[in-house]
Structure 1
Amino acid sequence: MKSKWIILYPALIAGAALIYLLGHFFGLSTAQYAVFFLGLIILLAARENTGIQMNLFLLSAVVLIFILSFKLKTISVSAALLGGLWFILLYMLSVPFARNELKLKLREVEIMKKKQDLELVKSESVNLAEKEDNNIESEIKGITSLYTAAKGLSFAMKYDDMAQIIKEILKKVLKYNFEIEPEKVNVLLVFKKADSFYIASSMGYDEEYIKEKEKQIIKSVINEKTGLEISYAASGLDDVHFHKSVLKVPFVVEKKLLGLMIISGSAENLFNDKQVESMKILANQIAISLEKVNLYEEIQQISVTDSLTGLYVHRYFQEKLEDEVKRAGRYDNQLSLVMCDIDFFKKVNDTYGHLAGDFILKNIAVILKNSTSPAETVARYGGEEFVIIMPDTDKEAAHIKAVKIRKEIEKTKLNFNGTVIGVTLSMGVATYPGDAISRRGLIERADKALYTSKHNGRNRVTKA
Structure 2
Amino acid sequence: MTFGSKGANQPFDDADRYFLQQISAHSAVCLNTCLLYEKRQKEKEDLDKILQNLSLLYSIGKAMNYISDLKKLLQFILGQAIEITSAEKGSLMLYEMETDRLDIRVVAGLEDDAFQEKVNNNEIKCRSFKPGEGIAGRVFASAKPIVVNNIKEDDVFVDSDASYVRSIVCIPMVVYNDVIGVINVTNKRHGKDFTDEDVEMLKAVADQAAVAINKAQLWDMAVTDSLTGLYVRRYFMVKLQEELLRAERYNNILSIVMADLDRFKNINDTYG
Is this a same-fold pair by TM over 0.5? yes
Does 2:160 align with 1:257?
A: no
- Tell me the SS of whatever aligns to 1:114: helix
Question: Which residue does the alignment assign to 1:190?
Answer: 93
Choose from 36, 56, 80 the match for 1:145: 56
Question: Which residue does the alignment assign to 1:316?
Answer: 232
Q: Partners in 2 of 1:341 and 1:186 — Cα distance?
A: 47
Kept in 1: contact 2:174–2:210 (CA 8 A): yes
Q: How does 1:27-426 map to 2 (within 5 A)?
A: 103=14, 106-170=17-81, 172-174=83-85, 180=86, 185-192=88-95, 195=98, 197-205=102-110, 206-207=115-116, 212-214=124-126, 216-219=127-130, 220=133, 223=137, 226=140, 227-236=142-151, 239=158, 241-265=163-187, 268-300=191-223, 304=225, 311=227, 316=232, 339=263, 380=268, 384=269
Task: Compute the TM-score of the two structures, normalised by the length of structure 2.
Answer: 0.64
Letter in 2 for 1:188: S
Kept in 1: contact 2:94–2:103 (CA 8 A): yes
Letter in 2 for 1:203: A
Deviation, 1:173, is: 2.6
Runs of 5+ unmatched residues, structure 1 = 1-49, 54-101, 175-179, 306-310, 321-336, 343-378, 388-464
Does the C-alpha gap of structure 1 residues 315 and 154 become closer, same or farther in structure 2, counting only changes over 3 Å? closer
Task: Compute the TM-score of the two structures, normalised by the length of structure 1.
Answer: 0.40
Q: Partners in 1 of 2:9 and 2:68 — Cα distance?
A: 95
Higher relative contact order (CA 8 A, sep 6+): 2
Kept in 2: contact 1:147–1:282 (CA 8 A): no
Count how many residue pairs are aligned between Structure 1 and Structure 2.
220
Q: Partners in 2 of 1:341 and 1:299 — Cα distance?
A: 21
Does the C-alpha gap of structure 1 residues 51 and 386 become closer, same or farther in structure 2, counting only changes over 3 Å? closer
Does the C-alpha gap of structure 1 residues 168 and 212 become closer, same or farther in structure 2, counting only changes over 3 Å? closer
- Tell me the SS of whatever aligns to 1:218: coil
Deviation, 1:282, is: 1.1
Deviation, 1:300, is: 3.7
Deviation, 1:141, is: 1.0
Does the C-alpha gap of structure 1 residues 223 and 271 become closer, same or farther in structure 2, counting only changes over 3 Å? closer
Does the C-alpha gap of structure 1 residues 223 and 138 become closer, same or farther in structure 2, counting only changes over 3 Å? closer
Q: Partners in 2 of 1:231 and 1:51 — Cα distance?
A: 67
Letter in 1 for 2:145: I
Q: Partners in 1 of 2:230 and 2:21 — Cα distance?
A: 95
Kept in 2: contact 1:235–1:268 (CA 8 A): no
Runs of 5+ unmatched residues, structure 2 = 1-6, 237-260
Letter in 2 for 1:120: L
- Tell me the SS of whatever aligns to 2:151: coil
Deviation, 1:108, is: 4.1
Greater helix content = 1
- Tell me the SS of whatever aligns to 1:217: coil
The percentage of aligned residue pairs carrying the same residue is 14
Kept in 1: contact 2:171–2:206 (CA 8 A): yes
**What RMSD, in angstroms, separates the aligned Cα atoms of the two structures?**
3.9
Q: Partners in 2 of 1:162 and 1:297 — Cα distance?
A: 12
Kept in 2: contact 1:249–1:261 (CA 8 A): yes
Does the C-alpha gap of structure 1 residues 213 and 239 become closer, same or farther in structure 2, counting only changes over 3 Å? farther
Does the C-alpha gap of structure 1 residues 105 and 286 become closer, same or farther in structure 2, counting only changes over 3 Å? same
Kept in 2: contact 1:199–1:218 (CA 8 A): no
Deviation, 1:119, is: 1.1
Kept in 2: contact 1:245–1:268 (CA 8 A): no
Q: Partners in 2 of 1:52 and 1:186 — Cα distance?
A: 70
| CA offsets 1:39-80 (integer angstroms, 9 cap, x no match) | xxxxxxxxxxx9999xxxxxxxxxxxxxxxxxxxxxxxxxxx
Q: Partners in 2 of 1:167 and 1:285 — Cα distance?
A: 12
| CA offsets 1:114-162 (integer angstroms, 9 cap, x no match) | 2212211221221222122112212321232232123211122232131
Deviation, 1:257, is: 0.9
Q: Partners in 2 of 1:293 and 1:225 — Cα distance?
A: 23
